[in-house]
Structure 1
Amino acid sequence: MVSIADSQIPSSQSPCSSSTRIQRSHGRSMRTIRSNLSLRGRDCSPEVIPTAARSAAVSEILTDSVIDFRLGELTAGYMASAEKSLSPDAVDLLELSRDFSDFSSFNSDISGELQRLASLCDGKHPQLGREFRDSKDSESVKLKLDPLADAVASTEILNIASPEDVEPVVRLCVETLMNSSASIEAKRDSAAKLRLLAKHRPDFRELIGISGAIQALVSLLRSTDSVAQENAVTALLNISLEESNKTHITDAGAIKPLVYALRTGTSTTKENAACALLNLSMIEENRNTIGVCGAIPPLVSLMVNGSSRGTKDSLATLYKLCSSRQNKERAVSAGAVAPLVGLVGERGGGTAEKAMVVLSSLAAIGEGRAVIVEEGGIPALVEAIEDGPTRGKEFAVLTLLQLCSDSARNRGLLVREGGIPPLVALTQSGSARAKHKAETLLGYLREPRLDGVPLGTTNAR
């Protein structure tokens, strides 16, 4: 067992007042309050990582010309030398990624805009409703399409319509979107129709995917009309739920305009752009491209400033993107760690678990570990093991294991934060995987030396 004395940090290092900078709304445990008081006057700052040691990807200024240049590098295979080998921690993260899907499910058209769209359409065409009531029992239902009719306004019709029935609507919408002389109102309405059709059924998504609509919608993503932009983003999100359409959307050059919409759109546009990028990131080759196009900083902004839905969407997208080392570096550089540590203290809704899984991903690189410790990650994670839900405890102990496995200093911080009692409790009552990780971490804490250096000491300078 490591004693408090063994884990002291040398007085030669610069002092700081507390091991955490995060203010959280919920009450902190007396254990943490006591440990914070005991740390006053002691050094708890992480080692400073020289700027020159960081990847060039971290500090790049993402102008359009830089983005285009970086995309060219990707196309040429410049970044094809991503990490190939999987460490034990990487295997753990792969296992957690499967669990993470339980916490990151999302639906197309998620933010209630479908209902708002439907309410706008209600009552516009009472005659259409009567035609449907008269013909709903017939063997074949035709939409009797008028070029100006909102035939897609009735979800009852869509429930029984065939792709052949709605194909004229799709074709008309594509023609309108591609027509340079069409008004923005007409394009807005056409995008809304495609959005609703793609929301409704998988066979409609497949139809839209091969109709030429994707390229037409991509051209609308930079529209200055916020409603048109929102309809285009959400239509592409809904279309992307069809697996074959992901490649079509990527080939249409949608990633860069989706990132633009993520930066500039309404709250609903930002949330749905994040989800669309999450869908496209299911194609591994797209992840670096999405990072190069500048998606990480607006995703961090959405995590901090968005609604509860937006926070969850951004966390899910960040986790998927951060399977790439370059994107891990970008996330750390974009300031993702501090809000992630703050979210660890959230209770209910699964947000804390999502944040801890993203932290686990960022802890796989040295820059991430340093900033997590600097931002008070160790006390926050210890509290999660003490008071958090069962799944959250598992995520927290994995992150602590990454932080402490090769750092005597971080082990000392963990001991002083009172981490040993909750870890011992976890070995008795946690899940099988949590028990194993807790036992492994306790084993590290019992080791008196690390690489020939006694725990809690530093090399002579």
Structure 2
Amino acid sequence: MISQWCKNNGTQLPDPTQYSNEDGITEADRDHFISLLEKMSSTLSDQKEAARELRLLTKRMPSFRALFGESVDAIPQLLNPLSQSRSQSDIPTDLQEDLITTVLNLSIHDNNKKFVAETPMVIPLLMDALRSGTIQTRTNAAAALFTLSALDSSKSLIGKSGALKPLIELLEEGHPLAMKDVASAIFNLCIIHENKARAVRDGAVRVILKKIMNRMHVDELLAILAMLSGNPMAVEEMGELGAISCLLSIIRENSCARNKENCIAILYAICFNDRTKWKEMREEEKTYGTISQLAQNGTSRAKRKASGILERLNKAVNLTHTA
């Protein structure tokens, strides 16, 4: 009707795109965004309403994620209800979930990753969320740490902040909804050397090995354990916790070539760092020939690692006989 009236009266309708930028954000969108952030310093009902809307907008509209990068105050305003609260138990669980999920949505935007991670309150509040709130909040906090850790500078920052410990604790709890996101976050963080040592100190080896022994999320957790096997303390702990028989049984039972490769890589690290485990490997090899079979049928990396173990074990036997 408006279009027809304008046509009849010789009036041209304004172009709806003239007030928008290249990201599709209009001035009305920008004003709405500012008003939602202002509500974060208002009443609890206003905070809840605004948090829910920001969660939905940042999920559906990449342009809204980009808006947060235009102001250094946007994220502190967003997280004001969490940062101003005296304790996590004072925060309504639905409000915490909406705000943490909004942080996750923001983190997906590549241009946001660096400044979100470097906003001082973000990582501590994500760590708080890992320990409290709904399981969805805790899962989304882990997912946010995973997406933020795409940058090496953020991997270091997150590691130094102490985030590995609550991630490992959540992994130990073993809630099915959280496991994949938690494992992904730990894996990503442990790509850098300094975080491997932190993860080992925070008990990752014991937690991960116990899950693997119970055949839980074997694919993801073996990948982390293989990464940690570059750390001498981790290797020693694996040997003490009975990793050898567990890993060899997975090689025999599991059809996944990548899992077999990760298992033999860990066994290789144990073999070359702990002579006391050679006897156990030799006896298992006599009974099942697991390592020999992998040396013939594995991936190129698995063959190389398996052959290296067999060579070391044979050399040790020959030296004993010669002596």
Residues 429 and 190 (structure 1), Cα distance of their counterparts in 2 relative to 1, 3 Å cut: same
Amino acid aligned to 1:278: F
Q: Partners of 1:198 and 1:264 in 2: how far apart?
A: 23
Amino acid aligned to 1:170: F
Q: CA deviation at 1:332?
A: 2.1
Q: Number of paired residues?
A: 294
Amino acid aligned to 2:264: V
Aligned partner of 2:311 in structure 1 is: 443
Asked if 1:167 is matched to 2:30, the reply is: yes
Q: CA deviation at 1:372?
A: 0.9
8 A Cα contact 1:230 1:266, kept in partner: yes
Asked if 1:362 is matched to 2:222, the reply is: no
Output one character per residue of 1:56-83: Cα deviation in whole Å (capped at 9) or x when no partner.
Answer: xxxxxxxxxxxxxxxxxxxxxxxxxxxx
Output one character per residue of 1:113-170: Cα deviation in whole Å (capped at 9) or x when no partner.
Answer: xxxxxxxxxxxxxxxxxxxxxxxxxx9889xxxxxxxxxxxxxxxxxx9432633332
Give the TM-score, by structure 2 length: 0.81
Amino acid aligned to 1:219: N
Aligned partner of 1:391 in structure 2 is: 258
Q: CA deviation at 1:397?
A: 0.8
From 280, 284, 297, the counterpart of 1:413: 280
Asked if 1:288 is matched to 2:156, the reply is: yes
Aligned partner of 1:213 in structure 2 is: 74
Asked if 1:311 is matched to 2:171, the reply is: no
From 94, 117, 123, the counterpart of 1:255: 123
Residues 140 and 379 (structure 1), Cα distance of their counterparts in 2 relative to 1, 3 Å cut: farther
From 161, 166, 170, the counterpart of 1:302: 170
Among the aligned pairs, what percent are the same residue? 29
Secondary structure, counterpart of 2:151 in structure 1: coil
Q: CA deviation at 1:394?
A: 1.1
Q: CA deviation at 1:343?
A: 2.5
Amino acid aligned to 1:379: S
Amino acid aligned to 1:256: P
Residues 428 and 141 (structure 1), Cα distance of their counterparts in 2 relative to 1, 3 Å cut: farther
Aligned partner of 1:57 in structure 2 is: none
Q: Partners of 1:299 and 1:192 in 2: how far apart?
A: 26
Secondary structure, counterpart of 2:81 in structure 1: coil
Q: CA deviation at 1:385?
A: 0.8
Q: CA deviation at 1:441?
A: 2.2
Q: What is the 5 A alignment of 1:12-411?
A: 162-164=24-26, 166-177=29-40, 179=41, 182-210=42-70, 212-222=73-83, 223=85, 224-253=91-120, 254-345=122-213, 351-388=217-254, 389-411=256-278
8 A Cα contact 2:152 2:192, kept in partner: no
Residues 237 and 449 (structure 1), Cα distance of their counterparts in 2 relative to 1, 3 Å cut: same
Secondary structure, counterpart of 1:265 in structure 2: coil
Q: Partners of 2:160 and 2:299 in 1: how far apart?
A: 38
Q: Partners of 1:221 and 1:269 in 2: how far apart?
A: 13
Secondary structure, counterpart of 1:282 in structure 2: coil
Name whichever structure is richer in helix by fraction. 2
Residues 404 and 219 (structure 1), Cα distance of their counterparts in 2 relative to 1, 3 Å cut: farther
8 A Cα contact 2:113 2:148, kept in partner: yes
Amino acid aligned to 1:163: I
Secondary structure, counterpart of 2:191 in structure 1: coil
Amino acid aligned to 2:168: V
If asked which structure has higher relative contact order (CA below 8 Å, sep 6+), I would say: 1
Output one character per residue of 1:196-244: Cα deviation in whole Å (capped at 9) or x when no partner.
Answer: 1111132332123325432222333445222111111110001111111
Gaps of 5+ in 1: 1-138, 143-160
8 A Cα contact 1:360 1:398, kept in partner: yes
Q: Partners of 2:198 and 2:183 in 1: how far apart?
A: 15
Aligned partner of 2:295 in structure 1 is: 427
Q: Partners of 1:443 and 1:276 in 2: how far apart?
A: 44
> After the TM superposition, which of the residue ranges 234-243 and 161-170 deviates more from structure 2?
161-170
Give RMSD over aligned pairs: 2.8
Gaps of 5+ in 2: 1-13, 18-22, 86-90
8 A Cα contact 1:256 1:290, kept in partner: no
